[in-house]
Amino acid sequence: MKPTQSDPTVQPVPASVVATVDAADTTLSNPRWAVLALGANLGNRLETLQGAIDALGDTPGLRVKAVSPVYETAPWGVEPGTQPPYLNAVALVKTTLPPSSLLERAHAVEEAFHRVREERWGARTLDVDIVTYADVVSDDPVLTLPHPRAHQRAFVLAPWHDVDPDAQLPGHGPVADLLTALGHEDVTPRADLELRPPE
């Protein structure tokens, strides 16, 4: 379901703020790269993923630098056939937000698209996960970095590898090697679908 224009999490950011953030990309001493995984298996999945990327791009202190190809994948952690398939993608972002603020923004974007958290690994309109934040390693239960199950998930590794073939997952090594070990079972490229980085 498309959010209404009055939703504060997806309204356009004023041009003056955008200009300030663009300047921060080059003038601040601490912009960090982060990898975000996006997934949706309810509603108009592609429209939701595009809306999430656009909303992230409207975030002061954050720039979406690259968006992966789209994959269709079987739901993870549930019995086969009990949920619709997911569309998944990965976005590479550069941000001056600390990890906690980036997590808050990810949750706000999920809520704008009516994400409901009723059961673990339940079907959802939108999922936005922080996979990595620079080379930060943290076992904080609120935000564990890198994502504790990313190395087990081809639906994260495959699109991430597409958009950054030399990527490294802290503590686990090259994404290419992790993906080779896992294989591509239940992960299908959707060349007919495309996500656009924010303009």
Residues labelled as active-site residues: 115, 124, 127, 129
Which amino acid does the sequence have at 171?
Answer: G
Specify whether the CB–CB gap between 157 and 150 falls below 8 A: yes
List C-alpha distances in Å: 89 to 27, 33, 37, 184: 30, 17, 6, 15
Asked if residue 168 lies in contact with residue 35, where contact means CB atoms within 8 angstroms, the answer is: no
Burial class (CB in 10 A: 0-12, 13-18, 19+), 39: buried
Q: Is the bond preceding residue 146 a cis peptide, omega within 30 degrees?
A: yes
Question: What is the distance between the terminal CA atoms of the chain, rounded to a whole angstrom?
Answer: 23
